[in-house]
Structure 1
Amino acid sequence: MDPLTGPAPAHRRFHGKGVVMKTPLAIFLALVVASFAGGCATGPKYQEYRATIPPIPSGQGRVWVYRPSKMIGAAVQPLVHLNDVVVGKSQPGCYFFADRPAGDYEVKTATEWADKLQIKLLAGEEKYVRLTMLPGVFVGHLKPGEVPKEQALRELEGCRLITADGAGAR
């Protein structure tokens, strides 16, 4: 206690070596941690799921979409479109696939602006699209890019399956 001013306000009292944390800050930090934990996919990891992957339907190809980074831009999770049809949500550390008839496709994500990738899908073929986080003016954006199968399979190892609505597959 200061003999001139009396007891210190509660937020400035010392507890051991540090200052007692204000309740609003503690609540804020708890909410931040909970929001990241709540956004995590609970689906199977790729190495667990690969043995159960169904065959590609006749006359169709398969487009794999994944986002290997779990930390950078975790709050940015735009929808992923194939020819303007929503096929999934770009959650960090997650993957999904869409089977589509052979043909030309545009893979698109959008935040501040739309990033697009053109692919040609053949019957029985698998394409791998990696979503890479890039800085933006106000919010980051995800750029889709086609990658070789070998690279994609390595990067998919730590990713979890999600459904089109972004929920973990059960």
Structure 2
Amino acid sequence: MNAPVTSFILTLLCAVSFASCAGGGAPYAELKSSGTLSPSTGKGRVIVYRTSGLAGKASKPFVWVNDVKFAQRLARGGFYSYDAMPGPLLVEFAWHDHYSSPAETAGIALTSGLIGVGMDHLMGHKRKGLTLQVPPNQTCYVLFDGRKLSQVSKEEAEGDLEHCGLLNPSGR
């Protein structure tokens, strides 16, 4: 095998292995087995996650729960764990947490043109969300697929979360 092909294969293998642990925090399986992810008595647990992978790796949305923004952006292969009071809960995401500054707008214009500037202004800071009913002493799972948030079953979520790491060890 020649050197460029070997180098490409090794680079690809490194990228794939890095992508599988992109969340960076404690692994879901480890936290689950320790009981750390169990809801507090009388509250519900909400887990918001994004599957791992290479596509869209650089894009990390901001996430809000009932208008409170999580400190870290939602990276691929990462998840948030949040104790919530039972009842309705609004989970939202947006690509920006503010309107673009003149310098940011100029950068977007240079890289994406006027259409990019328009799309950034119209869509970048607009929050899109999901309202769910949080039951006491149970866990709800919310998947961000790159375009929208959706509530998923425990079985689907646990298969996805297998390679995800916790982003908010303090719960916020």
Identity, % of aligned pairs? 30
For structure 1, the residue ranges without an aligned partner over 5 or more in a row are 1-17, 19-32, 135-142, 166-170
Structure (1 or 2) with the larger CA radius of gyration: 1
The structural deviation recorded for 1:53 is: 2.9
1:109 to 93, 103, 113: 93
Which one has the bigger strand percentage?
Answer: 1
- Does 1:125 pair with 2:114? no
Q: Counterpart of 1:150 in 2: which secondary structure?
A: helix
Separation (CA, whole Å) in 2 of partners of 1:70 and 1:156: 12
Paired position in structure 2 for 1:100: 84
Q: Distance in 2 between matches of 1:49 and 1:60?
A: 18
CA contact (8 A) 2:23 2:79 kept: no
Q: 2:156 aligns with which of 134, 137, 151?
A: 151
* Divergent runs of 4+, >3 A: none
RCO higher in 1 or 2 (8 Å CA, sep ≥ 6)? 2
TM-score under structure 1 length normalisation: 0.64
Q: Aligned residue pairs: how many?
A: 123
The one-character-per-residue Cα deviations of 1:13-60 (angstroms, maximum 9, x if unpaired) are xxxxx9xxxxxxxxxxxxxx9xx99xx443222222211233321221
Deviation per CA, 1:69-105: give whole Å up to 9, x if none: 3322112112211110123531101112100111211
Please identify which structure carries the higher helix content. 2
- Name the residue aligned to 1:42: 24
**Separation in 2 of the partners of 1:99 and 1:81?**
14
In the TM superposition, 1:1-170 aligns within 5 A as: 40-54=22-36, 55-87=38-70, 89-111=73-95, 112=124, 113-134=126-147, 143-163=148-168
1 CA distance for matches of 2:145 and 2:41? 31
Give the CA RMSD over aligned residues: 2.5
